Structure 1
Amino acid sequence: MSPRHSAAEAARTRERIIERGLALASVDGLEGLTIGRLAADLGLSKSGVLGHFGTKRALQLAALERAAVVFNAEVWRPAAGAPPGLPRLRALCAAWISYLTRGVFPGGCPFVSATFEQDGRSGPVRVLLRRQFRAWQRRVCAEVRTAVRAGDLPPGTDPAQLVFELYGVMMSLNHAIQLHGDPAAARHAGAAVERLLSPMPQPAAGGGKLAQ
């Protein structure tokens, strides 16, 4: 086999390992992502899996990085074409709900399981996870500020608070789907998002005074 073909085959094998590892992590968590399990699932030797990553920690980091790529493709990219501000916020939330309800990963969003798993821990996996969440939070906060400037959300809206509540809705949605199999979960999440992103009420006719 030529060096070029060897490199291409190695790249394909690495991709298979990451994809399968991410699927397993969504079900069993990052700590459940073992070299032995991956090797058995993919028909590889343990040394063959380790040869691509070196350590279990490196494999976990690669899975998290791939999860971010998938999340952006599933949630951010479909909403990117919407006008900035409230329209994009609505599109983001709709895509986020769709991502969770369609079962993109067999065990739900890997970020949700990783969040609980890494709570109270330290190390590079937690550092990467926090960096990924902060980057996403900054993106959504920017859209909230744009919506406030446009007058589509109340002027006193706290972007960090609103993003906190939207994130809570999505965590609850993932929980309702994965633990309870609740068929109404997406509808409840959509109603919660609609309430949180309700635009400012328009003044009533006649200067806002009630008719006598």
Structure 2
Amino acid sequence: MKIILLQLCASIILEASLLSVVQSAQEAPQQQKPEANRQQTQNQTDRSTQSVDRLNAGERSRIAKETDEKDRLKAYLKIADERLNNARQSTKVGDYAKAAGEIQAYTQAITEAADAIRGSQNKKKRESLHKMMEMRLFRHIPYLEGLEREFPFNQAEPIATALSRARSLRIDSLNAVFGDANILKKPEELKKDQEMKKQEESKSNDKTRVPPDRNN
């Protein structure tokens, strides 16, 4: 009788152990899956936030070989001119996807050009570079405005971005030429000022508004 009881107890213990192992095996993938999903999402986010270099190897080589700040800026602006011209040619034949790619490369070129100017340690030379930048962007802006009118509305975002960047960088250069006085404001700054002014006027009107006579 004792032997039978011992065998029964051993069987129960063995079944409990097997059940515990099975449950652990089933729970493990469920615990690991959220972590795996989080890691996958993080990897996708990292890839999406990585900047895409729109300039090709030849253009990078042309920029890298220029050691003088003025010559390097000229290289950037020459590339910007070429990319704008390419965008115009692609737009003429209705290849808006290719034109958009050219415009994105243009935007990168002028952005890096502005960064290079800001990195100059020579104030006098920096002002000269800003003048060069401003004059070139002055010519680019009407060109971009023309392209924007020709682009389909649902594909015009790269043009709008490039136009906004060109206008903003031109204002930066003009202000730098004027002695960093911020005399000129960017469109987004003007819009913000207008919104703040409207809010202040609204608050002022609320204060001066005569409350209704409740006795009537």
Structure exhibiting the larger radius of gyration computed from Cα positions = 2
Larger relative contact order (Cα-Cα within 8 Å, sequence gap ≥ 6): 1
**Does the TM-score normalized on the shorter chain lie above 0.5?**
no
Q: TM-score, normalised by structure 1?
A: 0.33
Q: More helix by proportion, 1 or 2?
A: 2
TM-score (norm 2): 0.32
